[in-house]
Amino acid sequence: MKRHNKTQQESLQIKGISVEVRNGDVNFALRKFKRKVQEAGLMQELRDREFYTKPSEKRKRAKAAARSRWLKKESKLDENTSQSNS
């Protein structure tokens, strides 16, 4: 049986997202936790891993997302130029 020193034991602990509940305010802590989960992208990763997606399908979705971002940017530019001309 191998023994670990203190620094190795600390590194073996599981790290995760945690929120401290202060003054019994669970709703505030829950909102903070949801925000942390959203920022970490855990829910999106869970949805992505739920079903297998072929690499061609991933490329197709990425291309569609890039196109929609580009169209959104273009529409904002067109909106700004039309307002400045008026």
Q: In this predicted model, what pLDDT tens digit does every residue of 6-21 receive, in sequence order?
A: 565 555 565 788 899 9
Residue that has been written with the tokens 């273009």 in this structure = 74
Cα–Cα distance for residue pair 18/13, rounded to 1 Å? 14
Cα–Cα distance for residue pair 23/16, rounded to 1 Å? 23
Residue that has been written with the tokens 């599981």 in this structure = 14
- Joined together, the tokens standing for residue 19 give 């929120």
The pLDDT, as a whole number, for residue 32 is 95
Cα–Cα distance for residue pair 16/66, rounded to 1 Å? 31
pTM for the whole structure: 0.52
Q: How many residues does the chain have?
A: 86
- The predicted model gives 50-78 an average pLDDT of 94
- What are the structural domain ranges in the chain? 15-51, 53-86
At 54, give phi and psi (nearest 5°): -65, 150
Cα–Cα distance for residue pair 81/74, rounded to 1 Å? 11
